[in-house]
Chains A and B, each alone.
Chain A
């Protein structure tokens, strides 16, 4: 997120797309409602009539997969009516003319045909967003979990740049995080291509890294920069600082690997790692042979889950470390019992980049141990000789190796209240708003992304419905936690697929019927919920219930840029079970 939760209530206009915050991030949902009461204009762009659509000024109920056409049409209207922030565009961005040329053909009438949204609504939405003093854009998996997920985000970013909404209060981009520490997992380098703070690990000797290409890469020595000079830049992400300045013809990742190798006392590999989809690859010889799974449940969360089950069975050895014997743990050879969040110290990073302390409230259950203690014991069996006695010691090592993000975040400071990265020095106040005076990459880049119909999992005669997925207020992910609450289970006890009454009538379904939902990959059963929250032709399920594991049906095709799976739409057939 570029901005903070606290700013939401003061936004001038809010665009909510591909997210249902009143159910998935309720407190942020409350804030959006508060903003509307304070006078914010609300635009909801979603194929479903989510709760926020009821209080929206305009609801753009587009066909799933046509996001880019819709966002480009909004850009078209903004430019055609001269509502863009010209000064911002001239001083802080580049390649506006390319965008302008590209969106020319995305007239409201043309896009109305693609998206099914009336042209007038598109025009109204564009005006509301562009004419507000500040505009923020909320999105999440409904935008990213497509084979064109990255392009969807680019199209949204264009809107934010066009209206000068990046780098100022009550504005910006709000990609809401779904899990308490998904931000932290990424920031800590639990990705195959980067170490902590997104420091690249791949060999880049031929191509140069992202940073090198964009920033010219000559890093300054920290001591050579005066505080005043650094202070001017304190609101933007700094490039990584090195002990020795490195020149353009040196490899950034070589330097980084050398830094980590020295700190860790090991030689680090520059071979790119596998992504989650590749670990469970369709071809057995391309899969991993040994899996160490900590606090995840891929059997229910991955697309075409049958493939994950098959891969786990096929592997030589599977270790699962968790607080419960979840569906994935059934495939383990060894299960290691972990402590819950209430039984250990540490930090989480929330959706607004805020690092916050959690504190041990009770002792671990039985013989279970904090995950870090288990990992350390394992490391020492490999002769790595680790010797951490507290979470704080580990965090201090993270700070030392990741000064450009966490340098200034001591436990002592965090104890007094969270801090938002980047926070580079002990006297740095943290960064509530990113890209304030300039962008991380220097200048804001308009990129052109064209709409193309999704070929991967379209509807046809055999699979006439589009299935999408969503979340429910009363449960959380695969229910390993919420499923243990009698209260929550009494509020929602089973999956009920949302289906429009008109479709149900066509299929001869009654409210209490069970249906069989079949995609090109498999079929599952579910009860139904007759509701006009979904338009005819669209059905929606959650992935909360193991009895109706919707991701079995989903297409494992991935976005070719982020390698994220297209979990948000697939063609299905529905029959009475």
Chain B
């Protein structure tokens, strides 16, 4: 890839020719406030927070300005600060912020911005939105949409369109009434939304958060147990429960993407209906048994049938759900017992 060299606040940095100034800065650990920029999406230029000055040319928004050989960029300055402060303060006053009650607390881009520009005590108090006056949309069982916290960055709209090609939501209404809406402003569950949660993952604030979110204490890398795509996941664990799942961005298969089942549907693992002990049917009713009782009975019955009918009487249905190692042992056992009658649902 072709490289160019430019100056960022007097630091000489090398960037890919296709990069924008914002990308180059973030790649080099230089923070420029931004809200509507997301590395997975095309630049949008909506929030105006990433404004910078290219020396000799004036102000520009860095998420849309391509890097060029030899340019010198300033990320701070009186004019920049003034513009940025106005844009940021307008966002902050319009944002319903009860941070401690917010699922995105400590992981919020608006908090980052507020911390960066610095908010004087009292200055915004008079203008601040203090009530959650717009109705929540909790129609989807997996996530909540809270327009009181929305900063209109459009990341959800663009994710739905650019990442998944669904297009369930868009900007609607005008001026102060602008908000993100489904077609005809219906609850999200009645729209063409596919509940994949990609927008929830990318929302920079608490406007889109999972229902009943609980942060995991640790994460374990695994593979989604549903269809054959084989998406890489990280299971979030608390105690002995799965409380979350997220896509593995390093997986060459899904690159972090997941569908509704892969992201939200692990209730079955910790479900009370899980079998926890061997069962033996006695007089038509299942009775709990020890492993020894159950396995001894299976062994005796297998041997009995083999003597009565020959090894061919035994057959096994293996599973497209268990591991390779288990499938291998399953057919090894049956073949070792003298039968090749092993099949799986691949034939269905």
Contact = CB atoms under 8 A, between A and B. Distances in A.
Nearest to A273: B340
A249 interface: no
B11 interface: no
B141 A486 contact: yes
A322 interface: yes
A355 interface: yes
B108 interface: no
Contact of B286 (A275, A335, A341, A476): A335
A382 B280 CA distance: 20
Interface string B249-280: 01111100111111011111111011111111
B117 interface: no
Contact of A391 (B223, B318, B325): B325
B83 interface: no
Contacts of A269: 311, 335, 338-340
A272 B294 CA distance: 30
B265 A488 contact: yes
Name which of B260, B296, B325 has the most chain A CB atoms within 10 A of its CB. B325
Contact of A317 (B252, B289, B301, B326): B301
A25 B330 contact: no
Name which of A181, A201, A362, A417 has the most chain B CB atoms within 10 A of its CB. A181
Given A358-B222, A487-B265, A179 B320 contact: yes
Given A196-B328, A317-B305, A26 B347 contact: no
B225 A481 contact: yes
A182 B346 contact: yes
B344 A185 contact: yes
B319 A295 contact: yes
B178 interface: no
B242 to A, nearest CB: 6
B332 A264 contact: yes
Contacts of B260: 26, 473-474, 488
Contact of A337 (B275, B309, B321): B275
A384 B333 contact: yes
A336 B343 contact: no
B59 interface: no
Contacts of A55: 165
B13 interface: no
B295 to A, nearest CB: 6
B336 interface: yes
Contacts of B335: 195, 201, 260, 264, 266, 268-269
Name which of B221, B274, B318, B324 has the most chain A CB atoms within 10 A of its CB. B324
A132 interface: no
Interface string A23-50: 0111110100110110000000000000
B164 to A, nearest CB: 5
Interface stretch (B49-57, B94-102, B127-135, B228-236): B228-236
B276 A341 contact: no
B338 A275 contact: no
Contacts of A260: 335
A565 interface: yes
Interface stretch (A118-126, A286-294, A512-520): A286-294
Interface stretch (A56-64, A186-194, A500-508): A186-194
Contact of A473 (B194, B235, B281, B337): B194
Interface stretch (A104-112, A151-159, A371-379): A371-379
B60 interface: no
Given A350-B229, A482-B261, A485-B265, A368 B275 contact: yes
A145 interface: yes
Given A355-B324, A486-B267, A185 B319 contact: yes
Name which of B251, B254, B328 has the most chain A CB atoms within 10 A of its CB. B328
A488 B165 CA distance: 22
Given A179-B320, A296-B317, A25 B227 contact: yes
Contacts of A37: 162, 165
B305 to A, nearest CB: 5
Interface string A406-425: 00000000000110000000
Nearest to A291: B315
Given A482-B261, A565-B347, A181 B322 contact: yes
A560 interface: no
A490 interface: yes
B316 A293 contact: yes
A372 B273 contact: no
B163 interface: yes
A181 B221 CA distance: 17
B125 interface: no
A26 B313 CA distance: 41
B328 A398 contact: yes
A5 interface: yes
11 contacts: A6-B253, A182-B346, A191-B344, A193-B340, A268-B335, A291-B316, A361-B220, A378-B299, A382-B303, A487-B267, A488-B265
Interface of B: 141-142, 162-166, 189, 194-196, 211, 220-232, 235, 237, 240-242, 250-254, 257-262, 264-271, 273-281, 286, 289, 291, 294-299, 301-305, 308-309, 311-348
Q: Which 7 A-B pairs have the closest CB atoms?
A: A366-B276, A350-B230, A177-B228, A346-B323, A295-B319, A33-B165, A273-B340
